[in-house]
Structure 1
Amino acid sequence: MLFSTARSATRRFLPVKEKGRRAMSASSEVDSSTPSLVNTEWLKQRLKGVKLLDASLYMPAQARDGLSEFKAKRIPGAQYFHLDEVAEPNTSLPHMLPSEQAFAAAMDALDVSNEDHVVVYDGLGIFSSPRAWWTFKCFGHERVSVLEGGLPAWESSSGPVSTDSVSNEQLQRPGKAVRSPPSSTRYKAKLDHSKVRSAQEMLANVGSKGEAVVDARSPGRFIGTEPEPRPGLKGGHIPGAYNVPFPQVLRDGKQLKSPEELEKVFSNAGVDVNRRPVVGSCGSGLTASILALAVHQINGKVIPIYDGSWSEWGMLSDVPISTETPPNTV
């Protein structure tokens, strides 16, 4: 049965028949109300006027733990936004978007209101924080920014850090709220379906080619010559996808390149992000968010992301998979 192994991961998304309307709204939406990137000097001047969230999450190969590092040191006033905890609990797929009620409950636990300007950062510079940025955008929170360069840039600029102890109860509160959300919340979340794609919609797009799929994984994983880090996944990519490995949009692995440089990166991969609707994909929906943040620097649009990404597609038994080299023309 189609998508039987995906479990409940896509149960909240719109059916395929909505795709045409959704693609139109996604391609025409421009977000210019709040800067998606802020630098360290900007933050120093507004440190007490924003809600800071450390969204550090690392891959197993990086041998680092975001929660432990947060407990050791953080930007003063920051709270920990655990991407694997503020996520759908009833799926085997990693850090999938939670329900509206669960996200709202987590925001209450973090004392974040709908009016707050949220600034997210991570311990690498630009890695997991864009996923938190995209998550807030998905639930209708427009006032959210990423700290360019993250904690490394903050420390390099002599920004203050806190090493005060943090209680385990405080750290566990958002995750508990997600697993057992109350019937009512102060925070109001509304999932914007135009910013998310399901496996069914991605399959429909293989035939329609209505959206250009940009895959943030490495070239080896994209064509199936490099093994997937998660067991049980086949190699390759969604047919018709374009390969834009996320390190290509970064400078020194810590900051996004200029809008002009970013536009060239996508163009070199065969995608004109100003002329064609784009959807992001990667291994688990994490590094695709880096591409989403990059596109936002070019044209102000918040592109949709295939939330299940290759963690879902690569385990399905009845979807097409390609191992061809990346196309270089649209």
Structure 2
Amino acid sequence: MLKNKKGLVLVAILLIAVLALSACTKNVENTTSTNERGYAKPESIVTAEELKGMLDDVVVVDFTEKGGKYIPGAVKIERSAIQTEVDGTPGMNISKEQFEAMMSEAGIKNDDTVVIYDGDQELWASRVWWAMKVYGHENVKLLDGGIDAWISAEYETENDAAQPEATEYKAEDANEALVATIEEVEESFDNEEMLILDTRGDKEWNAGRIPGAVQLEWTQALNEDGTFKNADELKKLYEDAGVTADKVVIPHCKSGVRATHSLFVLTELLGYENVENYDGSWLEYEKSGLEIEK
């Protein structure tokens, strides 16, 4: 009986050791410095550990849906503040004036370095990132893995967002090189140098799609824990799908949110130079009268 008990104890100890080693290995992989993953622009993304060391030098923006646990000092921007209706299409990017008002209310100055996070694998954070890029705010980064990565690292959180003093933010005119129109989408039908990238899931894709588009769901760029895959993995993923840097790539989804996530991957992590978010996306295209493939 004593030998059996000792044997069970030994098995339990070995099992615990294996699990601990596995967890440790996963943690090392997910917290690898962004400079070591081969990204084209590693300055566009930070790990939780990297952010912890720069909190005093950046403005952190919380773009979670409900909040609840905030990174210390983070200011809150609501999702409604970053979307508007344009010509009957909801979910479009806000105007320059609306953007200035949003940034001013959040207490952000033109020369601030901004780090954005959400609780949705940086899906919505990428939308704010894109809007900031469109209106000329260059110093903006995403937190890899979002608030989940911060909490998993057991870093301090706060129950309330910061209440900053308002600023007088001045935006640049919209950078049209980051925005695709429905006219450009139509032009792609007969232009081999242009590619429509559908970032939606299989169900949406099978229900109807833009002619000539290729599908690569936005989640394919992520590890299981919501962090971004390394550059070599991403390069193979996109090139195998025919999404190459020699084309003008136009990502879309239903309302231009998932598309900005893929735009971030292509431009910042892989260095593609010609990527334009189709802001109207399927909500605009479906009612346009243009051809739909099935």
1:193 is matched with which residue?
176
Q: Of 284, 288, 294, which aligns to 2:259?
A: 288
Partner SS state of residue 292, structure 2? coil
CA–CA distance in 1 between the matches of 2:124 and 2:202? 20
CA–CA distance in 2 between the matches of 1:166 and 1:290? 26
The alignment's C-alpha RMSD in Å is 2.5
**Counterpart residue type for residue 281 of structure 1:** H
Q: Percent identity?
A: 28
CA–CA distance in 1 between the matches of 2:225 and 2:184? 32
Partner SS state of residue 321, structure 1? coil
Q: Of 136, 141, 152, which aligns to 1:145?
A: 141
CA–CA distance in 1 between the matches of 2:158 and 2:169? 29
For the 8 Å contact 1:128–1:286, the answer to whether it is kept is yes
Q: CA deviation at 1:166?
A: 7.3
Which entry has the higher C-alpha Rg, 1 or 2? 2
For structure 2, the residue ranges without an aligned partner over 5 or more in a row are 1-38
1:126 is matched with which residue?
122
Partner SS state of residue 84, structure 2? coil
TM-score, L = length of structure 2: 0.79
Q: Deviations over 1:161-211 (max 9, x none)?
A: 1113778xx8xx99xxxxxxxxxx542332100100111221122233431
1:55 is matched with which residue?
63
Q: CA deviation at 1:34?
A: 7.2
Q: Deviations over 1:125-184 (max 9, x none)?
A: 3321111111111111110000001000001111211113778xx8xx99xxxxxxxxxx
Partner SS state of residue 89, structure 2? coil
CA–CA distance in 2 between the matches of 1:267 and 1:91? 35
With over 3 angstroms needed to count, the CA separation of the structure-2 counterparts of 1:83 and 1:190, relative to structure 1, is: farther
TM-score, L = length of structure 1: 0.71
Higher relative contact order, structure no. (Cα contacts within 8 Å, ≥ 6 residues apart): 1
With over 3 angstroms needed to count, the CA separation of the structure-2 counterparts of 1:253 and 1:238, relative to structure 1, is: farther
2:259 paired with 1:263? no
1:315 is matched with which residue?
287
For the 8 Å contact 1:34–1:145, the answer to whether it is kept is no
Greater mean deviation of Cα atoms: 44-53 or 263-272: 263-272
CA–CA distance in 1 between the matches of 2:222 and 2:260? 13
1:223 is matched with which residue?
206
Return the structure number with greater helix share: 2
Partner SS state of residue 278, structure 1? strand
Q: CA deviation at 1:249?
A: 0.9
Q: CA deviation at 1:92?
A: 4.3
For the 8 Å contact 1:293–1:302, the answer to whether it is kept is no
Q: CA deviation at 1:257?
A: 0.8
Count of residue correspondences:
255
**Counterpart residue type for residue 279 of structure 1:** I
CA–CA distance in 2 between the matches of 1:120 and 1:302? 23
